[in-house]
Structure 1
Amino acid sequence: MIEKAPVTRKQTLDKDLTKIIQVEQATSILSRNLIAPGLGLLFLAFAGILASFYVGANASMVIIVSAAAIGAYMALNIGANDVANNVGPAVGAKALTMTGALIIAAVFESSGALIAGGDVVDTISKGIIAPEAVADPSNFVLAMMAALLSSALWVNLATWIGAPVSTTHAVVGGVVGAGIAAAGFSAVNWPLMGNIALSWVVSPVIGGIAAALVLAFIKTTIIYQDDKIASARRWLPLLIATMAASFSTYLVTKGLGNLVHLKGSALLAVAVTSFVVVWAISHVHVRKQSAGMQNRNQSLRKLFNIPLVISAALLSFAHGANDVANAVGPLAAIVAVAQSDNVSSHVEIPLWVMLIGAFGISLGLLLFGPKLIQMVGDQITKLNQMRAFCVALSAAVTVIVASWLGLPVSSTHTAIGAIFGVGFFREWYTANSKRRKTYLARRMTENGNHIEKDEKEERPLSAEEIVHRKLVRRAHVMTIAAAWVTTVPISAILSAFIFYVLRMVS
């Protein structure tokens, strides 16, 4: 008798267990995606509770609590979007890990906001809307709430599509839209708006040109020299000292402008002192760190790590000091008007309002910041330590020089423009530099047509490769440029719509 082979069937229990496991895994993935929004909502609730605690039960409590939640929402979005420009290049260059960048940015953003965030803020956003145009307290409160909510919604959308935008421009657009809805077109300071529009072009162009010039200098004086290490010892301390002088001036005039007031010779003395002190320290440090290094580009990059980390921290501090006003300025104005029933051109910022702005920016960075940080640092163009250093240095120098010349610039647009400048310059340099071609040809001759791993991207390219090789992703260029151009008008339109809705329901 022939025995039949046993039929192997998967038991029903096993099938059910497998399905249960799959459902649990899917649920776990979905729940992880909901953690960040859930924590964000908890922070909004906390902001409202904090506001009610300080304000107490009175007729204006509902308005102030609502405004506090909207201000907290704006602070979260500032952290999610705007902070990426400060730490993104260092992360893309692998001078900082994502975790390290988040910690450094969160600490220094909060410190900048709380230490140097300022205690006085213009309620009508630096003269964009004439105060007498919205002198009615109820209209003013609705206008500020509409401006705050519209700008927060736009920055949130920009973060979702992966576009770093200027939160200052978003707030300006919100104020303009609400002001027009409340008092008509004549209430807007249109010459000032013209300067802001000019900054859309001026900021990225100047930042890009400055970054390209710095990268050209580094390539000429260090990278394509026979003795790279000796050249780095000579020039790198000067570059670091220049960045230090720029940052010290930037911090004194922008980040610490509410604590110290220096102008003219005093400001120049700060810059010169910073330059000399940092040059002396970095001269010793670079010489010590470069001892025994191989004469390779990979070795050079390590020398830029510490300056990049320091620049990320300083930029975060200055950003926290400056841009916290985008979240707490309109909120502070709403609180002051709701409590006094009187519109003032300047208001004091209560400590609890500043806490909402400071910790909201840090929380938004920790919960939602990695997406934009990754995009800024890695997806626009490939950054290494030297290129990221060019971005940091050019951004600081551009903002300072533009301030001296009275040119309107955006730090966000300047930093992103610098990244574009680095990428486009590399495209041009790869195709046209005789120095690069001569250097690489000599290197390949000396090494038997072999070049080291970190020089492969600099190898001579054929005409077809040059056509197809794009070092800047064009899709990001178009997305970011479109977001920049539309930030003010979309924020304005949205703000006007929200203002009308609020006035109808109030």
Structure 2
Amino acid sequence: MSPLVFVIVIVVLAWAYDFYNGMNDAANAIATTVSTRALTPGQAIALAWFFNVVGAFLTTRVAATVGKGIVDPAMVDGSVWIAALLGAILWSAVCTHLGIPISITHALVGGIAGAGWVGYGLGILKWAGVKKVLLGLVLSPLAGFVVAYLFMLGVLWTFRRVPLARANRFFRLGQIGSASFMAFAHGSNDTQNAMGMITAALVAAGFLPDFRVPVWVIFGSAFFMGLGTAVGGWKVIRTLGMRMVKIDPSHGFAAETAGALS
């Protein structure tokens, strides 16, 4: 296919990926806030959308890891990027339909590595980048657990003499801040996956001289992720916010803060 058609295909797939990311991963940022009724679903979605956009402009380091840290974009053809995006989109669609929260980032990185391996052999992989992603996959849930556990202990001790109803009123307000922080952290990380793929395609097709993420790519990626959160994701919200554990506002505040810090 021509370079222009290739870039258009990648942009469409990358923003479809962002849409499903919003339906699954971005829904994580507001699940506990909705379940504790700190915010209405509409308010929570607007909050998540806004801070995802703000977070997307913070840095492009994750985009660089996805776009050129797993395989060298100059050494592979467009089929690798197309296969990786299709695999991540399909996996996210299935899991979102079933209400299973996942890390679509790791699905995409696995798709890039798998497609690169099949097409070009193991030698095409940049193992430093692969190790970085695998380390994050292992450490993120452990770090979140430890930070949330310690944070909740501190909350219980600090508010041990405060009536529960009064404490819950405080933490419902606190959850607005913690959900914003969580959405901002999500935007500064996950929104960049599609940004990295599109920028890599632009470089490979000769439309960019080097790996610099254009502003229109940042806006588009953040927009479609927010759209995915607004359109769907309620099964994931119910799974995280209502079916895993029974939570009150203090638990939601601790979970969101720990998740953002992790």
Fold similarity call, TM over 0.5:
yes
Residue in structure 2 matching 1:203, options 140, 150, 153:
140
Matched, 1:218 2:155: yes
Residue in structure 2 matching 1:82, options 16, 25, 29:
25
What is the match of residue 241 of structure 2? Answer: 377
Matched, 1:320 2:187: yes
**2:100 touches 2:236 (CA, 8 Å); kept in 1?**
yes
**Structure 1 residues 316 and 347: alpha-carbon distance in aligned structure 2, compared to 1, 3 A threshold:** same
What is the match of residue 365 of structure 1? Answer: 229
**Structure 1 residue 117: deviation in Å?**
5.3
Residue in structure 1 matching 2:69, options 110, 127, 146:
127
**Structure 1 residues 392 and 145: alpha-carbon distance in aligned structure 2, compared to 1, 3 A threshold:** same
Equivalent residues in 2 for 1:454-493, closer than 5 Å? none
Secondary structure of 2:233 counterpart = helix
What is the match of residue 112 of structure 1? Answer: 55
Secondary structure of 1:83 counterpart = helix
Residue in structure 1 matching 2:39, options 96, 117, 120:
96
**Structure 1 residues 330 and 127: alpha-carbon distance in aligned structure 2, compared to 1, 3 A threshold:** same
**Structure 1 residues 217 and 119: alpha-carbon distance in aligned structure 2, compared to 1, 3 A threshold:** closer
**1:93 touches 1:383 (CA, 8 Å); kept in 2?**
yes
**1:125 touches 1:175 (CA, 8 Å); kept in 2?**
no
Q: Deviations over 1:139-170 (max 9, x none)?
A: 43221222222212212222112122112211
Which letter maps to 2:227?
A: L
Equivalent residues in 2 for 1:382-393, closer than 5 Å? 382-393=246-257
Partner Cα distance (2:183, 2:55) in 1: 7
**Structure 1 residue 359: deviation in Å?**
0.9
The range that moved more, 356-365 or 119-128, is: 119-128
What is the match of residue 329 of structure 1? Answer: 196
**Structure 1 residues 337 and 191: alpha-carbon distance in aligned structure 2, compared to 1, 3 A threshold:** closer
Secondary structure of 1:347 counterpart = coil
**1:120 touches 1:348 (CA, 8 Å); kept in 2?**
no
What is the match of residue 86 of structure 2? Answer: 149
Q: Deviations over 1:111-144 (max 9, x none)?
A: 332x435499427645322x2xx645xx432212
Partner Cα distance (1:359, 1:315) in 2: 17
**Structure 1 residues 339 and 200: alpha-carbon distance in aligned structure 2, compared to 1, 3 A threshold:** closer
Partner Cα distance (2:205, 2:63) in 1: 16
Partner Cα distance (1:307, 1:176) in 2: 40
What is the match of residue 64 of structure 1? Answer: 7
Q: Deviations over 1:276-310 (max 9, x none)?
A: xxxxxxxxxxxxxxxxxxxx312211011222101
Partner Cα distance (1:191, 1:303) in 2: 44
Secondary structure of 2:211 counterpart = strand
Which letter maps to 1:305?
A: R
Matched, 1:310 2:252: no
What is the match of residue 467 of structure 1? Answer: none
Secondary structure of 1:339 counterpart = coil
Partner Cα distance (2:152, 2:21) in 1: 30
Q: Deviations over 1:449-471 (max 9, x none)?
A: xxxxxxxxxxxxxxxxxxxxxxx
Which letter maps to 1:116?
A: L
**Structure 1 residue 59: deviation in Å?**
3.9
Secondary structure of 2:20 counterpart = helix
Partner Cα distance (1:349, 1:221) in 2: 44
What is the match of residue 464 of structure 1? Answer: none
Partner Cα distance (2:182, 2:152) in 1: 20
**Structure 1 residues 123 and 64: alpha-carbon distance in aligned structure 2, compared to 1, 3 A threshold:** farther
Partner Cα distance (1:355, 1:393) in 2: 26
**Structure 1 residue 335: deviation in Å?**
2.3
**2:148 touches 2:255 (CA, 8 Å); kept in 1?**
yes
**Structure 1 residue 98: deviation in Å?**
1.3
Secondary structure of 2:190 counterpart = helix
What is the match of residue 453 of structure 1? Answer: none
Partner Cα distance (1:103, 1:319) in 2: 14
**Structure 1 residues 90 and 155: alpha-carbon distance in aligned structure 2, compared to 1, 3 A threshold:** same
**Structure 1 residue 76: deviation in Å?**
0.2
Which letter maps to 1:110?
A: V
Partner Cα distance (2:86, 2:122) in 1: 21
Residue in structure 1 matching 2:111, options 174, 182, 206:
174
**Structure 1 residue 361: deviation in Å?**
0.5
Extract unaligned runs of 5+ from structure 1. Answer: 1-57, 230-295, 400-506
Q: Over alpha carbons, which structure has the higher Rg?
A: 1
Aligned pair count reads 262
Q: Deviations over 1:371-391 (max 9, x none)?
A: 222221112111111111221
Matched, 1:186 2:123: yes
Q: Deviations over 1:345-381 (max 9, x none)?
A: x522233322321210011110012222222111211
**2:181 touches 2:257 (CA, 8 Å); kept in 1?**
no
Partner Cα distance (2:148, 2:83) in 1: 38
Percent identity for Structure 1 against Structure 2: 30
Extract unaligned runs of 5+ from structure 2. Answer: none
Partner Cα distance (1:195, 1:324) in 2: 18
Which letter maps to 1:300?
A: A
Partner Cα distance (2:213, 2:138) in 1: 33
Higher relative contact order, structure no. (Cα contacts within 8 Å, ≥ 6 residues apart): 2
